[in-house]
Amino acid sequence: MRNEKIGFVGLGMMGLPMARNLVEDGYSVNVFDLNKATVNAAKDFGATSSDSAAETATLSDIVITMVPDSEHVEAVIAGADGILEGLKPGSVVIDMSTIDPEMGKKMANLIEAKGSNFVDAPVTGGVGGAEAGILSILVGGNAEVFERALPVLNVLGGDVSHMGPVGSGHMTKIANQLIGVATLAGMAEAFVLAKKSGLDMQAFFDAVKNGAGRSWALETLGPKILDGDFTPGFMVKHMQKDLRLAGQLAAKTGTALPTSTLIAQLYRSVQADGPDAVNQGHQALVQAIEKMSNEKARK
């Protein structure tokens, strides 16, 4: 059994397999989530559970949060029955969500006032990476706190990078998302163009997958698009959130984001298909190009 006791708050598509990996590596893991089904799933693989984030913090040396957006991080840390209410001095809080860097800094100040420490450690690699424990983890925080958190992070990721002080991890993740979504947009246009030009789509994919356009998006999401599979590994609404965060950071830093701004509008077109459209996988971006082109890029 590992010495550090781990608390895990947020058992969504990413958080649940991450908690499982920690249990399987020998950590004692206590979980909290509002969704009782995911809590029960965590108990099935050996975690214990609490009735609040505060109780989880009381039982833990390191508390991980993995929730959708900035307001959720604030609620589970600083809200009623939140982590701050139960946090022991000398503990570490690791936020692995993708949120506004300023919110991360605000939470760090509150946690440090309680005699504990905070690092931001958002991840990239999707559900598959979470399940396999090979996520890329982008960390912001004090170097000594990073070293303490590193054994835990190494269980969850195959590539852990210390990017600088608190906020640096969140800023790195936001910039990273722009690379991924711009690649996806280019791929979507290429697929629709190939289809409208009369090419065999499987032959096209096989021909280009190892060329200059090779990417994680092409290898992972390309086959899904060709099969019409829009089940989520990462939802449209979460990419929309990340693009919003990028816009906020760009406004603060005076950075032009013309491509990302256009892609955000393309996702609005996808969203217009109905309330469930944002729960599709973010590869549904291709649907916006398909609408404008009156063609579906399928095999």
- Give catalytic residue positions: 173
**Contact in structure between 100 and 170 (CB atoms under 8 Å):** yes
């958002």: which residue's tokens?
122
Of 240, 229, 231, 298, nearest in space to 269 by CA: 240
Q: What is the 3-state secondary structure (H, E, C) of the chain?
A: CCCCEEEEECCCCCHHHHHHHHHHCCCEEEEECCCHHHHHHHHHCCCEECCCHHHHHHCCCEEEECCCCHHHHHHHHHCCCCHHHHCCCCCEEEECCCCCHHHHHHHHHHHHHCCCEEEECCEECHHHHHHHCCEEEEEECCHHHHHHHHHHHHHHEEEEEEEECCCHHHHHHHHHHHHHHHHHHHHHHHHHHHHHCCCCHHHHHHHHCCCCCCCHHHHHHHHHHHCCCCCCCCEHHHHHHHHHHHHHHHHHHCCCCHHHHHHHHHHHHHHCCCCCHHHCEHHHHHHHHHHHHCCCCCC
CA–CA distance, 47 with 80 (Å, rounded to integer) = 24
Phi, psi of 162 (to 5 degrees): -90, 115
